């Protein structure tokens, strides 16, 4: 099975609490990434989704800081977690992505897009049918 971690054409970016929404717009235009973890001192402090970004831009403009609009209630997963459990959680929660955390530090992102890119046309059934699939195989690394 090909690992997104080793085959991703670009790495995922994370945001800092003090970044302005204008910087996030630049990331959106320059990359294919749609949702971002927000890192504070190496630890994940929140998540900014594209939908939250667009709503905030329309209401408050691009000078607003990321920490004012990020989601502070989010789920994390670990590289050794079972893929099937994470997929189940992704399907039932209002989550766009899961920060993948190891030793309290961000090591990657898990979302439906990296599963689709790594597993072909039916990522969920292909991914969970493998013996002991681990999240690390489907994780996009972060800078």
DSSP string, 76-87: -B-TTSBHHHHH
- Averaged confidence pLDDT in the chain: 75
Cβ-contact 141, 5 below 8 angstroms: yes
What tens digit of pLDDT does each residue of 77-133 get? Answer: 888 888 778 777 877 887 878 898 999 889 888 876 665 554 443 333 333 333 334
- Which one of 45-49, 73-77, 118-122 scores highest in mean pLDDT? 45-49
SS3 138: helix
Residue found under tokens 């209630």:
73
- Dist CA 49 CA 110 (whole Å): 13
- Give the confidence band of 8 by pLDDT, cuts at 50, 70, 90: very low
pLDDT score of 25:
95
pLDDT score of 13:
82
pLDDT score of 92:
82
pTM of the model: 0.73
Domains delineated in the chain? 4-141 (3.10.580.10)
């Amino acid at each position: 099975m090909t690992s997104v971690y080793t085959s991703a054409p670009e790495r995922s970016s994370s945001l800092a609490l003090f970044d302005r929404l204008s910087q996030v717009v630049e990331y959106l235009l320059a990359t294919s990434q749609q949702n971002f973890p927000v890192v504070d001192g190496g630890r994940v402090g929140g998540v900014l989704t594209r939908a939250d970004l667009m709503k905030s831009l329309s209401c408050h403009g691009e000078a607003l800081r990321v920490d004012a609009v990020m989601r502070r209630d989010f789920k994390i997963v670990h590289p050794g977690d079972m893929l099937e459990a994470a997929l189940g959680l992704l399907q039932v929660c209002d989550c766009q992505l899961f920060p993948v955390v190891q030793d309290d530090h961000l090591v990657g992102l898990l979302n439906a897009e990296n599963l689709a890119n790594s597993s072909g046309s039916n990522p969920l059934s292909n991914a969970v049918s493998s013996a002991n699939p681990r999240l690390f195989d489907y994780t996009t690394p972060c800078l």
